[in-house]
Structure 1
């Protein structure tokens, strides 16, 4: 008999149809106006051949041979032996090298559950065990997270509650200029879960209200067709130059908001000297910007006129800051909004990340929802998140970070849980070399993806369909039940159960579990949420919530700290949390750092790799490795929706029609994308929806090297991070610069190698190993 159970994911809420513990299908939840196609595709992956069914240990690690991670077979072992191996290795590394030698990776989205949150479980376990080296910031927004507290104050993510919401834009705004576009595909997701998708309809409401949109992006599809957006194709990585040219036009014509700049900002005079060329002899006018960006001078002048004569919003997307000097377009977008005259007006001003998640611009915040309790980490040291390969390759090296000097630790044990570094890190061949350095790599995984294949000890984990939990998304006003849909595959266990077993061996099980079972933890966290809201009648009791599947949270009361409206009305009474209490157009603090790649005000720096660089003679195409439409990062690349998007089993790459014709490439062909760092195969899509000189290959295809461990080896599957540079965007944030990369593309007319990304490595049973 079929049963219907709610399913909550980062890409929305669904209904699972189950028959005798077999997952039959996944349907959109009733009432979701724009359900994601990722959900139904989860069925394909639920029982595919890539599932990890038993604990496994790399054969060479068991035999004590030098590391050959990624190119070795595995031996399946019992859970008892696996727990012994991991606990003994943690003891050994801590006693010989100190707690800082343990790296608690777990960068990644994992599942949407509040209790079964992989990163929270791992960090709680490692902190109770003595501590670990942590990472700071995210691959998605590292530059933004570091620069914004200097410029507008507050927590790095506090801007989400301070920028105009879509409904306010519809009511009050006339013009939206979006640098990096507003790709609707990205709004499928929300970290932590999502009851229903709203961004599409909110955007549509803005257009119906008469709001005009301008999308400044190399890709036409970065704005939905119904927006009727004016498309301004821009040379990648030149958004800062475009904004400077617009700002110069505002300044010399006297169109800028002098009153707001004087009362609510600091340092505009010093920035204006740079803008006018008084510091370097180069006026940053529209003609100068046109020569860099490819956007015509008159177009930039007209944009300056419209921004200052209409109620406007300057938007900047996350993609533009994942590049060389990625702090600059974020900083400059705030300055441009401050100059425009709309900053701090209702529904107008500035914002970042719109349409990046179905949360940004939908609601300013969400009421408190409890999650697995944190434990203070006894180890104070950390690394910037994108510097993991640097730390492994160069322990002891000193690097800059946000005014600090950090010494990279000597990492001996890498413990990864809930993420996929062989998806999100740049220059995978360099990461492979770095990955051979630690003594041991422990990974929790549900599938034999690349990270699992590059581990020493692999512990199989239950998926979000195989455990009880509840979800609550970022700024989403709902709590959604996540009942177990099916039993865990094979011998897989939850992360919590694994860590509880390890904690028992290491002597702190009571502290880790607090004496609660997993079911008791889920119920406890829900009841903590009820109590924290102050009136338990706001939410029903747990049993009633579980029966309903979803309940709505009360809206947090505003206004929120750091309001630009309050700043505009009374800058003395409502200062920002910056040294001046105002928007820092010039930052004395950043200037004091003395960085040659991040001055005290927004500045144009030429990227290392871009279409005007000398390297473009050899590699004349700029690669955009944006987020995929068919999955979340690399999650469910083995799901039906992602598999259905492949061409000859490879990730699709989009190329402009003129560039394709010059290379004899047609849609449906397999092509080789390459540069000096690596190469990959992909399936070609020829299109006029991106500008000439640009190719687009989404992230997230599971890396599938022909010769694992061999530098430069061909990737059969289409992972763009074999091509990207592992280069920090600046000394300030040390963030990734994935979008600053040049490549070329050519037809692949030879035999096609089989895609083995979803094929498990060689596996042997314990008795097979013992007889050798």
Structure 2
């Protein structure tokens, strides 16, 4: 049903509001007779800020016949997908009663909500936290699956100045060399503006180098030079480049020492003063697979081609020592005096810059006194609460997330859902997490909610009106939580007497947007200002512009620099520890390193509108590996490690280093996280989802699935 008096043909501003690396991309929805008939770029956004193909398919999601349109209550075994339809009164009464009973017993509800929907008002993670903080508290997850290890390292290096360490995408116009290190930004987006700026740089013949185990879609589209590194050895290559930089005639230790503390320890480690092993290109070649001559050339380029735009991707920190690569990204930029230059980067995450000032929903958290667990270990908190200090957890509540398969160790996640006495999920589609829940509530989609779009990166914000009334019995997450809060005696604190539309108007008035009516009309406000290089003032004059750290400078420290040999064995990929009852693999099965890659067509596991896309793993292999093993294209194979096994079909891929496989993350059946574990990275317990050691064997008969 159309909202207001909208009828006939119209175009309205729209953004998806998905946690995809764009978060708010400017679109116009073409509406005719109550249906979305097309999506196109919003011209008010100009040339550079662009949506991706996922946004262009949003109408298909809205009108999908597979959407959940009524509350569901489980009437079969968990995971069976057997539910009965229920009224809102029945579903909400059940939830309020069960959560109240759990609170009364002194037990906890684990909130595993995430930003399945983003925005100033309708951010699902924020609304979930706000609700539980109003009704007696819960246990929350800390960090993210996206960039937790990177954030851990960078926040300790840049302190309170981390939020100024990124770069504006438009500064790429000044770059002489672009290095995409594990980054695939045309597919795994890092903001809505960066892809167009990179394409323009390629058109101008700026040299682009991609360091990655696969020749990614971004690398191919940009005509980049491919450095085919072994998975999980990015730190080794970075050490070797830094080793060369330390001996380069343009290296200036005095310059570095004025801007960093602890760099001398890193330099001593790289020179081999600790362990007698210089981290030279010759040393690195065998470990990371990049020829020593290429490493020397890269190090020289870093000085010769200034400004160098180094863009690290999230993949390099999803490994056992995932914190280390981001320390080294910052070290390379500092040592080569690229940091602070327009057209270069600090080596930090690109979006760490202030955006447009806009108010947004507070979650009411008292973080100092709120129990939380690392997001990777949420199932461990359910199964072993005493180890995590949470107290007993008797319920799981999920809104805007599909953690059952997006989280590591799917088997353990299932055991966690089996352990609790109650579980709730807000969803558009019957995802694996929804199938394992006791109550599933139909959530409104982006066409059915008005909001302000806050982008992943950039100095702009978007507006989206409510275009349609919710389909069926669907409701917005705000509406669901407000009614639950009312039933649990906390509505005044949750809503503060405001509807979602009143919150939206309050946030617009409290923002820096100068003309709210123009903002609503065009759907976008773009702030002006000079293009920003991260921490430009600090790097040009560190005494006058100190960082918000204990010393006013970048702080370099790492537990790896104190390790004794043979520590290098620990930097590579590691097979997950043994699982109970799992037999060792046959020694003749060859070992490969598996990458789990994001693909452009979907936001992680948000695939419910296209059920066929949720099934069937394509396992990409180098053709020479296939030839040596006697495998044919599209042949059934099985990957196995101590955690489980995954079956799929081969897909010949010449843009992949030998010894490496990749398959897309986000599949429902089989879920690749059947092969990962919750041990996490060494320092921050962040996810390890790249460089996973697996054994491969052909499957003689037609079969697919996992165990």
In the superposition, the TM-score normalised over structure 1's length comes to 0.81
Match status 1:15 vs 2:3? no
Partner residue, 1:376: 365
Task: Please tell me whether residue 628 in structure 1 is matched to residue 573 in structure 2.
Answer: no
| Counterpart secondary structure, 2:673 | helix
Q: Which residue of 2 aligns with 1:344?
A: 340
Q: CA deviation at 1:508?
A: 2.0
Distance 1:692 1:323, change over 3 A: same
Tell me the CA shift for residue 451 of structure 1: 0.7
Distance (Å, rounded) in 1 between the aligned partners of 2:305 and 2:457: 29
Paired residues of 1:366 and 1:474 also in contact (CA < 8 A): no
Equivalent residue number for residue 3 of structure 2: none
Which residues of 2 match residues 319-334 of structure 1 at below 5 A?
319-334=315-330
Match of 2:454 among 472, 475, 482: 472
SS in 2 for 1:444: strand
Matched, 1:573 2:582: no
Structure 1 SS opposite 2:27: strand
- In structure 1, what is the Cα distance between the partners aligned to 2:703 and 2:39? 34
Distance 1:386 1:514 in 2: 33
Alignment of 1:247-258 (within 5 A): 247-252=242-247, 255-258=250-253
**Any conservation in 2 of the 1:423–1:699 contact (CA below 8 Å)?**
no
Matched residue, 1:503: 485
| Residue in 2 that maps onto 1:528 | 510
Aligned to 1:401: none
Q: Does structure 2 retain, via aligned residues, the 8 Å contact 1:318–1:352?
A: no
Can you list the C-alpha shifts for 1:193-226, whole angstroms capped at 9, x where unaligned?
Answer: xxxx432331133345553222111111254445
Pick aligned residue for 1:638 from 586, 600, 608: 608
The answer to whether the Cα contact below 8 Å between 2:643 and 2:674 also exists between their aligned partners in 1 is yes
Aligned to 1:738: 689
CA contact (8 A) 1:180 1:216 kept: yes
Alignment correspondent of 1:609: 573
Once the two structures are superposed, the pairs formed by residues 400-549 of structure 1 within 5 Å of their partners are 407-529=389-511, 533=512, 538-541=514-517, 544-546=518-520, 548-549=521-522
Counterpart in the other structure of 2:105: 96
List aligned pairs for 1:357-376, cutoff 5 A. Answer: 360=351, 364-376=353-365
1:723 and 2:678 aligned = no
In the TM superposition, what are the counterparts of 1:651-690 in structure 2 within 5 Å? 651-690=617-656
Following TM superposition, by how much is the alpha carbon of 1:746 offset from its aligned partner in structure 2, in angstroms? Answer: 4.6
In structure 2, relative to structure 1, the CA distance for the partners of 1:484 and 1:32 (3 Å cut) is: farther
Q: Residue in 2 aligned with 1:550?
A: 523
1:259-274 counterparts in 2 under 5 A? 259-274=254-269
Deviations 1:402-448 (A, max 9, x none): xxxxx354322211111110232112112112222222111111110
On the 8 A contact 1:104/1:133 being kept in 2, the answer is yes
Q: In structure 2, do the counterparts of structure 1 residues 683 and 483 end up closer, same or farther at CA, with 3 Å as the change threshold?
A: farther
Selected match of 1:230 from 216, 225, 228: 225
- Counterpart mapping for 1:35-434 below 5 A: 35-59=51-75, 68-71=77-80, 73-98=82-107, 101-107=108-114, 109-154=115-160, 158=163, 161-171=164-174, 173-187=175-189, 190=191, 197-209=192-204, 211-221=206-216, 223-225=218-220, 227-252=222-247, 255-311=250-306, 312-353=308-349, 360=351, 364-377=353-366, 379-397=369-387, 407-434=389-416
Q: What displacement does 1:164 show?
A: 4.0
Matched residue of 2:100: which SS?
helix
How far is 1:689 from its partner? 0.7
TM-score by structure 2 length?
0.88
Cα offset, 1:273, TM superposition: 2.3
Match in the other structure for 2:5:
none
Name the CA shift for 1:38/1:96 in 2 (closer, same or farther; >3 Å).
same
> Is the Cα–Cα contact under 8 Å of residues 181 and 222 in structure 1 kept in the other structure?
no
The answer as to whether partners of 2:96 and 2:484 remain within 8 angstroms in 1 is yes
SS at match of 2:398: strand
* 2:580 alignment counterpart: none
Q: Structure 1 residues 605 and 133, CA, compared in 2 at 3 Å: closer, same or farther?
A: farther
State the match for 2:581 in structure 1. Answer: none
Measure how far apart 1:668 and its partner are.
4.3
| Unmatched tracts of structure 1, length 5 or more | 61-67, 191-196, 355-359, 399-406, 705-714, 756-772
Cα displacement (A) at 1:306: 2.0
**Could you say if the C-alpha distance between residues 519 and 380 of structure 1 is closer, same or farther in structure 2, counting changes exceeding 3 Å?**
closer
Secondary structure, aligned partner of 2:346: strand
Aligned equivalents of 1:559, 1:689: Cα separation in 2: 35
Residue 765 of structure 1 is matched in structure 2 by: none
Tell me, in whole angstroms, the C-alpha distance in 1 between the residues paired with 2:685 and 2:136: 27
CA distance in 1, matches of 2:644, 2:116: 28
Q: Is the contact between residue 269 and residue 561 of structure 2 (CA under 8 Å) also seen in structure 1?
A: no
Distance 1:246 1:91 in 2: 58
Shift of 1:556: 6.5
Q: Say what the alpha-carbon RMSD is for the aligned residues.
A: 3.1
**SS class of match (1:152):** helix
Unaligned 5+ runs, structure 2: 1-7, 578-583
Offset at 1:330? 0.7
Seen in structure 2, the aligned counterparts of structure 1 residues 186 and 353 have a Cα distance that, compared at 3 Å, is farther
The whole-number CA distance in structure 2 between the counterparts of 1:13 and 1:314 is 27
Equivalents in 2 of 1:2, 1:672: separation in Å?
A: 51
Q: 1:469 to 1:224 in 2, by over 3 A?
A: same
Q: Which residue of 1 aligns with 2:4?
A: none
Counterparts of 1:164 and 1:617, CA distance in 2:
49
Over 3 Å counting, the alpha-carbon distance change for 1:684 and 1:133 in structure 2 is same
Aligned 8 A contact 2:233 2:288 in 1: yes
Please tell me whether the aligned partners of residues 114 and 471 of structure 1 are also in contact (alpha carbons under 8 angstroms).
yes
Provide the rounded CA distance (Å) in 2 between the counterparts of 1:131 and 1:264. Answer: 43
Deviation at 1:93, TM superposition (A): 1.0
What is the CA–CA distance in structure 2 between the aligned matches of 1:559 and 1:287, rounded to whole Å?
38
Aligned partner of residue 350 in structure 1, secondary structure: coil
| Deviation at residue 294 of structure 1 after TM alignment | 0.6
Quote the offset at 1:522 in angstroms. 2.3
The Cα of 1:308 is off from its aligned counterpart by: 2.7
Name the CA distance, whole Å, in 1 between partners of 2:226 and 2:151.
Answer: 28
Inter-CA distance 480–303: structure 2 relative to 1 (3 Å threshold): closer
Taking a change above 3 Å as real, the CA distance of residues 412 and 32 of structure 1, as seen in their structure-2 partners, is farther
